[in-house]
Amino acid sequence: MNRNWWIIALGFGCAPEPEQNDCGESGATLHYVVTSMGYMRSEDGISLGYDIDGTDDPVCRVDDLTDPEGASGIDNGLSYLIPALQASEAKVVGGYINEAIIEGRVLLAVEIQGVDSLVDDDCVDVTFLQAEGEPLLGTDGGLLAGQTLLRADLPETTVQSVQIVNGVLDARPLNLDVPVSLLDANFELNMRDGGLQLRFAEDGAAEGFFTGGLHQEEITEILNSSGGVDSDVADLVNSILGLGLDLEDENGQCAKMSAGLEFQAAAIYLVGGGVE
């Protein structure tokens, strides 16, 4: 059975946001690279994430969740499908994602400019980008912190005037365009109205998530891609997809699903010019 489900290798870019005040004229510039990634889950009605649709009420008959800090209205429709996915061959997607990271095929990076403090800072600029290079691995087999990677010559987007509060950075609302490669097929997941969170640890590492709304047609297109997904896995996902469609599209139809990926990140050095 071909176990490559709907994400094997991915990078991300972001749709342009309105121009705001520049915070990066002073302070340090820091870089983080994603070292591991997986589904953003929920348990007992608790999930990381954001209120994407702006309401606490159920949308499309799917209940909202609550985040660990008690905020209501959290949207994570994908989390309702994870138990079924974990019981199928789709469960190996996490392994393929992290294999691609270790091999240097997926190097998602965040640049933070104007940093005076990673605990509380009134204004930093955050750039989402992709890195490249052959990553160095630590004794645990993961990406080594403190190494130098190259800034990929690919589109990147800066969100300005972001705050760090109690060691947490939230950049939203944000549109994430996530390219997906499945064997001989290439797609782009357009995650809309979501955002990205980074939580900084005292040891210099970080963790977080990015999330947004996916249109049902995009998920179906990937499932039906030639050579990309086994038919039994595609049939399973198609059969349960409606359980996670928790967002209305522009026509008021229940045709979108909120989804998120959690990640671990390490501080690195980044060199190269990138895209203007």
pLDDT digits (tens, 9 = 90+) for 31-74: 999 999 888 999 999 999 999 999 999 999 999 999 999 999 99
In a domain? residue 3: no
Measured CA to CA, the distance from residue 127 to residue 172 in angstroms comes to 12
Helix residue ranges per DSSP H, the chain: 82-86, 93-102, 216-223, 231-240
**pLDDT over 90 percentage in the chain:** 45
pLDDT of res. 11: 43
Higher pLDDT: 167 or 92? It is 167
pTM strictly above 0.75:
yes
Please determine, for residue 166, whether its predicted confidence score (pLDDT) is greater than 90: yes
Contact status, residue 213 vs residue 256, Cβ threshold 8 Å = yes
Residue 71 lies in a domain: yes
pLDDT at 179: 59
Say what the pLDDT of residue 13 is.
47
CA distance 183 to 229: 9
Q: Which residue has the higher pLDDT, 124 or 237?
A: 124
* Region 18-43 average pLDDT: 81
Lowest-confidence pick of 56-60, 156-160, 241-245: 156-160
Q: What's the domain range around 264?
A: 9-271
| Spatial contact of 207 and 262, defined as CB atoms under 8 Å apart | yes
Residue 156 within any structural domain of the chain? yes
Q: Could you tell me if residue 276 is inside a domain?
A: no
Q: How sure is the predictor about 180, in pLDDT bands with cuts at 50, 70 and 90?
A: low
When mean pLDDT is compared across 90-94, 139-143, 211-215, 219-223, the lowest value belongs to 90-94
Most trustworthy range by pLDDT among 12-26, 130-144, 165-179: 130-144
What is the token pair recorded at 208? 């977080």
Higher-scoring residue by pLDDT: 19, 237: 237
Which of 50-64 are b and which e, b meaning 16 or more Cβ less than 10 Å from the residue's Cβ?
A: bbbbeeeeebbebeb
Indicate the number of domains in the chain.
Answer: 1
For position 209, what pLDDT does the model report? 94
Q: What rounded mean pLDDT belongs to the chain? A: 82
Tokens representing 4 are 């490559």
* pLDDT for residue 242 is more than 80: yes
Is position 87 within any domain? yes
Answer whether residue 2 is part of any domain. no
Structure-token pair, residue 197 = 């969170």
- Using pLDDT thresholds of 50, 70 and 90, give the confidence band for residue 183: very low
DSSP letter (8 states) at residue 238: H
Contact 128, 12 (CB under 8 A): yes
Q: Which of 90, 44, 82 is closest to 65 using CA atoms?
A: 44
CA separation for the pair 207, 70 (Å, rounded): 19
Report yes or no on 123 lying in a domain. Answer: yes
Would the pLDDT of 200 be above 90? yes
User: What pLDDT band is residue 81 in, cutting at 50, 70 and 90?
Assistant: confident
* pLDDT greater than 80 at residue 8: no
Question: Quick check: 148 pLDDT over 90?
Answer: yes
- For residue 276, pLDDT over 80 is answered with no
Q: Is the peptide bond before 173 cis (omega within 30 degrees of 0)?
A: yes
Asked, for residue 35, whether it belongs to a domain, the answer is yes
